[in-house]
Chains A and B, each alone.
Chain A
Amino acid sequence: MKRLRLTHLEMIQFKNHEKTSTDLQGRLVCITGDNGMGKTNILDAIYVLCMSKSYISFRQADIIQNDKDFTRLVGSFERNGDKDLITLKYPRNGTKIIEKNGKKYTRLRDHIGFLPVVIITPDDVQLLLGGSADRRTLLDNTLCQVDRDYFTNLSQYNYVLKQRNSFLKSDIIDDKVLDIYDSKLIEFGKQIYDKRKQFFSDYAETVSKIYAKISGEKEDIEVTYKSQLNDQDFATLFQGAREKDRILQRTTTGIHKDDMDLLMNKHPVKSVASQGQRKSLLLSLKIAQFEIIKTQLQVSPLILLDDLFDKLDRHRVAHLIQLLTDGDFGQIILTDTNKTRVKETIGAISIDADWLEISNGQISNYEYSNS
């Protein structure tokens, strides 16, 4: 098992960070500072280096500081003695360029999964309250990191889907063209479906195991894969939806409609779970993601924990950190507003920790201690 760690980070014109850089030594990195100072942006910068996309900003160009032409990120990563330098440059009027040790990637699929990462943020609540897109994102983020073919198939599926939707909005709709797009969606979609289905058999079990560990309670948690393809084959689905698609001018069926059902004691979590149970489940969904990526890649992913106490009381935080640091883990990078609170809560765990304090996009105070 390899353990991945970030040892140096530089952010240039990234959101509110004009020019910030820092060294990281510990396996537990605690970033504290008031709200709005740029804590979350640091985690997002790390996420962008790993996944090439912002986790927080919907519009990718928003990661570039206002009025600036580009942003640049540099990260030094280490795993069992091997060092890699990753740089990402993103010009406002261009595409992102990612380099590994000075060599430019020609295909994004060669990078995704090289730096496995799991992010836990207050927005995770959308996994329960939001639409299916949020749950598919979790699914896709996980599978794209462990399976390059999945990443390729998904990009191609999404591209064809965009073409088909544009075509449905055009003046002349030739059935022959739709037939071709359908056959391509089927070709790519079938592979995505098979992989998602396979993934769920593992994931469902892992989530309920972790839930039992975190909550110490006996609720029965069920995570199931919901797809139109469970009941009908792709070709029939597309045939049946053709008329509707023409009228609505978009593709109404396919794996881009897939969802994840979350049940507690056979009822939808959203309607029966208490506040505490919800929080435990959200964490279980993310820790299960961590476990699956770790097992499949044999690399322990970075864990980014945003706004730690937003979700949990002290007791649960201590328990969570204990749980994460128990097994093989590479590095946890967490943020919170209150340094004292973090110190008191996790101080008992004997791991080398870095304490960073941030204000106005500058890391002003840096101390290294074995607390």
Chain B
Amino acid sequence: MQHSSLLVQETVNNFTELPGIGPKSALRLVLYLLKSDPEYAKKLGSSIIELRDKIKSCKICHNISDDEVCSICNDSRREEHVLCVVENLRDLMAIEDTRQFRGRYHILGGVISPIEGVGPEELHIDSLLERIERNGVQEIIMAISPTIDGDTTIFYISKLLEGKEITISTIARGVSFGGALEYTDEITLGRSIISRIPYNS
């Protein structure tokens, strides 16, 4: 689509780079911004800039955070001896939404997949082991997508923890094999955390 205004054109183009936004939706958003209070556009723009500038990664669990340590790691009411290990932020959010888990998290940053250049070194596995050692973690729950790569990653971590006094469980597989966690509904996911099963490799 060509627009008579280059400014409109450029904003539309920028919007279409967002996931799920096509040229039509982008134009609708741009027209909305033009119609609304100029203050709103300013607020929106600066919050986006601030978001990118100031967001941090929690140095303990690698969650997104406004400070060095995220609000979950800082929350003393949360059980610190139980860790839920997830692939990414989206999975953490999905589990947090179920309100069934009151422990802490650890984000791996992916799963082992050499095809995509991800070996164990590329993941936050060292910091996980350190945490387990330092904080006397008693249980870890592997909330990893039940795919071949997810399975490989769980297997690998469990091998590193062999001989340690620690319970390893995986979330119960109400999720079909090959399914991704973020598409699992809250109830299924919540239930599968409660009914987690001991992991034996």
Binding site for B on A (CB under 8 A): 107, 156, 159-160, 162-164, 166-167, 169-170, 172, 174, 176-177, 179-181, 183-184
6 A-B pairs (CB sep. < 8 Å): A163-B148, A166-B114, A167-B119, A176-B159, A184-B148, A184-B151
Q: Apart from A176-B156, A177-B112, A184-B151, list 12 A-B contacts with CB within 8 A.
A: A160-B148, A163-B115, A163-B148, A163-B152, A167-B114, A169-B114, A170-B117, A176-B160, A177-B119, A177-B156, A179-B159, A180-B156
Min C-beta distance of A235 to chain B, whole Å: 15
**Chain B residues near A167 (CB-CB < 8 A):** 114, 119
Min C-beta distance of A312 to chain B, whole Å: 44
Q: Secondary structure at chain A's binding surface: helix, strand, loop or mixed? A: helix
Q: A163-B113, A177-B120 are in contact. Are A156 and B152 (CB under 8 A)?
A: no
Contact A180 B119 (CB under 8 A): no
Q: Secondary structure at chain B's binding surface: helix, strand, loop or mixed? A: helix
B113 (CB) vs chain A CBs: closest residue: A163
Q: How far is the CA of A176 from the CA of B148 in the complex (A)?
A: 16
Whether a CB of chain A sits under 8 angstroms from the CB of B32 is no
**Chain A residues near B112 (CB-CB < 8 A):** 177
Interface residues of B in 147-172 (CB under 8 A from A): 148-149, 151-152, 155-156, 159-160
B159 (CB) vs chain A CBs: closest residue: A176
B149, B160, B178: the one contacting A163 at CB < 8 Å is B149
B116 (CB) vs chain A CBs: closest residue: A166
0/1 string, B45-77, CB within 8 A of A gives 1: 000000000000000000000000000000000
Contact A162 B115 (CB under 8 A): yes
Q: How far is the CA of A209 from the CA of B127 in the complex (A)?
A: 64
Min C-beta distance of B81 to chain A, whole Å: 26
Contact A180 B155 (CB under 8 A): yes
Whether a CB of chain A sits under 8 angstroms from the CB of B39 is no
Q: A170-B119, A174-B120 are in contact. Are A180 and B114 (CB under 8 A)?
A: no
Min C-beta distance of A91 to chain B, whole Å: 15
| B interface residue count range (under 10 / 10 to 19 / 20 to 34 / 35 or more) | 10 to 19
Closest 5 CB pairs of A and B: A166-B114, A167-B114, A180-B155, A166-B115, A176-B159
Q: A172-B121, A174-B120 are in contact. Are A180 and B115 (CB under 8 A)?
A: no
Contact A172 B115 (CB under 8 A): no
Min C-beta distance of A170 to chain B, whole Å: 6
Contact A156 B114 (CB under 8 A): no
Interface residues of B in 116-152 (CB under 8 A from A): 117, 119-121, 148-149, 151-152
Q: How far is the CA of A156 from the CA of B113 in the complex (A)?
A: 14
Contact B159 A181 (CB under 8 A): no
Q: A163-B114, A176-B159 are in contact. Are A184 and B120 (CB under 8 A)?
A: no
Q: How far is the CA of A177 from the CA of B119 in the complex (A)?
A: 9
Q: How far is the CA of A166 from the CA of B119 in the complex (A)?
A: 10
Min C-beta distance of B83 to chain A, whole Å: 21
Min C-beta distance of A100 to chain B, whole Å: 20
**Chain B residues near A164 (CB-CB < 8 A):** 114
**Chain A residues near B115 (CB-CB < 8 A):** 162-163, 166
Min C-beta distance of B200 to chain A, whole Å: 13
**Chain A residues near B152 (CB-CB < 8 A):** 163, 177, 180-181, 184
Q: How far is the CA of A183 from the CA of B156 in the complex (A)?
A: 12
Q: How far is the CA of A284 from the CA of B174 in the complex (A)?
A: 47
B119, B149, B151, B155: the one contacting A174 at CB < 8 Å is B119
A159, A169, A177: the one contacting B148 at CB < 8 Å is A159
A181 (CB) vs chain B CBs: closest residue: B152
Q: How far is the CA of A162 from the CA of B160 in the complex (A)?
A: 24
**Chain A residues near B117 (CB-CB < 8 A):** 170
Q: How far is the CA of A162 from the CA of B156 in the complex (A)?
A: 18
**Chain A residues near B156 (CB-CB < 8 A):** 176-177, 180
Min C-beta distance of B180 to chain A, whole Å: 12
**Chain B residues near A163 (CB-CB < 8 A):** 113-115, 148-149, 152
